[in-house]
Amino acid sequence: MWTRLAYNLVLALAAPFAWLRLFVKARREPAYAARRGERFGRVPAGISRGVIWIHAVSAGEVNGAAPVVRALRERLPDARFLVTTMTPAGSEAVRTGLGDVAEHCYAPYDFPWAVSRFVARVEPRLLVLMETELWPNLIRATRRAGAPVALINARLSERAARGYARVGRLTRQMLGQLDSVVCQYDDTARRFKALGAPPERVVVAGSVKFDLTPPPDMAEQVAKLRRRWAQGRLAWVAGSTHPGEDEVVLRAHEALLKQFPSLLLALAPRHPARTQDIARRCAERGFKVARLSGGTAGGVAPQVLLVDVMGRLLHCYGIADVALLCGSFAPIGGHNPIEAALHGVPMLMGPHRFNWKEVERRFHAQGCLGYVAEDTLAPAVAALLADSAERRRQSRLARATVARNRGATARLTACLLALIVDGDGAGATVRGGVTR
């Protein structure tokens, strides 16, 4: 009780800064200025009641949730689905990837009054949290409303586990309210149990992101990108760069152009609002630059293509001969390698890989994901670009690794259906963890 009161006191003190943070973010990314009320529990008029509610923070989590939503929709054709996110990128991912099967709005911040208002309005039958979206008040309000709560595709690094352990009592209370914790791998399951999750409710199902199905027009969109930008040239993609990583990538590209003068770099910042700053850095280095959202300057083939459009990185991997998975040269922990592997692209990562430890380990063990440092990045990319046979070998291994690790969606769906009884139309629910 006292830990929850302390948590809510901190939130109350932080409330004015939440508004300020939205205004600051809106200056860099204007989409944050829209629909602010939703973040404080105001639900749009068109949102249904009695929904199966899936909460995913941003685009990557939405893409991971998509196969599960569609699988549940097949089993429960009369159910209403609501997918909430915290970022505009996530909002766009719902619109483009799930707009035909799910409604969308932003999730409320974890203020008790905001989540209570939200839950009372949407009347969820089930709340499904993706990966590590653990919010004490959100979980508590949903359980008090009589709906079960499941955490799925859960992943928890050692670093994140240490953070939760610092507020151990609050963490134990929160985890004790979860009806099911469906983890990607055994290491995450061990950490959740150590933090206080009831062992009988913790299961291991693998990563649902291996079940990602490319959109039907993927081949067509990749072909268009290749015709417009690659034009028969070798290309490498730096996916989801963070501040500080752009310089690492641009230095490597500068060195690579000496050996491969027509080489194209597609650079995708994690937050497209940084595109202008990156374009300035490219100009300072004398690169010919284009933006995915526009045309080439003067019709000249660019040396750097800035991917400034949300949701297009998956397509851009399709034109790559080599993919660099960023967030790994900064202490971010790296980003999802599966999207590049779907296209059969040889992959490289920097030294910070803790976010996807079990996933990237599978690709590394098969020999299709290499580890590099800042000073070895350019030589590693050059070696792959110069060896088409090695690229083909790694391509086959990447695709085979994805195929071998599929199946999590079916296991997750079974876990969630065990929490839902599609009875007389009232959407009755039943609680209880799913055991291994």
| CATH at residue 297 | 3.40.50.2000
Q: Which helix (H) or strand (E) holds 84?
A: strand 81-85
Does a structural domain hold residue 22? Answer: no
User: What's residue 165's pLDDT?
Assistant: 95
412 and 329 housed in the same domain: no
Alpha-carbon span 367 to 365, nearest angstrom? 5
pLDDT digits (tens, 9 = 90+) for 81-136: 999 999 998 998 899 889 999 999 999 999 999 999 999 999 999 999 999 899 99
125 and 229 housed in the same domain: no
Q: Which single residue is written with the structure tokens 């990045």? A: 377
Domain count for the chain: 2
Domain with residue 90: its CATH number is 3.40.50.11720
User: What's residue 417's pLDDT?
Assistant: 94
User: What's residue 265's pLDDT?
Assistant: 98
Does a structural domain hold residue 242? Answer: yes
Judge contact between 399 and 375, C-beta under 8 A: no
- Token readout for 164 is 């939760």
User: What's residue 201's pLDDT?
Assistant: 96
User: What's residue 87's pLDDT?
Assistant: 92
3-state secondary structure of 117: helix
238 and 381 housed in the same domain: yes
For residue 360, indicate whether it is catalytic. Answer: no
pLDDT at 295 over 70: no
Q: How many helices (H) and strands (E) does the chain have?
A: 17, 14
pLDDT digits (tens, 9 = 90+) for 228-259: 999 899 999 999 999 999 999 999 999 999 99
Sheet hosting strand 347-349, strand order edge to edge: 289-291, 304-306, 264-269, 235-241, 322-325, 347-349, 369-371
What average pLDDT does the structure give for the chain?
91
- Token readout for 300 is 């000249």
34 and 126 housed in the same domain: yes
196 and 223 housed in the same domain: no
61 and 78 housed in the same domain: yes
Does a structural domain hold residue 256? Answer: yes
383 and 412 housed in the same domain: no
Does a structural domain hold residue 348? Answer: yes
pLDDT digits (tens, 9 = 90+) for 154-207: 999 898 999 999 999 999 999 999 999 999 999 999 999 999 999 999 999 999
pLDDT at 19 over 60: yes
Write b or e for each residue in 320-358: b if 16 or more Cβ atoms lie within 10 A of its Cβ, otherwise e. bbbbbbbbbbbebbbbbbbbbbbbbbbbbbbeebebbbe
266 and 397 housed in the same domain: yes
Range of the domain at 369: 218-404
271 and 242 housed in the same domain: yes
pLDDT at 343 over 80: yes
Does a structural domain hold residue 124? Answer: yes
* DSSP string computed for 18-66: HHHHHHHHHHHSGGGGTTGGGGGT---TTPPSS-EEEE--SHHHHHHHH
Which residues sit opposite 269 in a β-bridge?
A: 241
Alpha-carbon span 347 to 142, nearest angstrom? 41
DSSP state, residue 312? -
199 and 225 housed in the same domain: no
Does a structural domain hold residue 14? Answer: no
Alpha-carbon span 155 to 135, nearest angstrom? 15
Does a structural domain hold residue 7? Answer: no
Packing angle between helix 186-195 and helix 168-176, nearest 10 degrees?
110
93 and 222 housed in the same domain: no
**How many CB atoms within 10 Å of residue 261?**
9
Cα Rg for the chain, rounded, in angstroms?
22
* DSSP string computed for 241-291: E-TTHHHHHHHHHHHHHHH-TT-EEEEEESSGGGHHHHHHHHHHTT--EEE
Q: Is the dihedral of CA 132, 138, 141, 142 positive or negative?
A: negative
User: What's residue 22's pLDDT?
Assistant: 85
Instruction: Return the amino acid letter for 263.
Output: L
The active-site residue, picked from 61, 92, 103, 133, is 61
pLDDT digits (tens, 9 = 90+) for 350-379: 999 988 888 999 999 999 999 999 999 999
174 and 108 housed in the same domain: yes
Does a structural domain hold residue 23? Answer: no
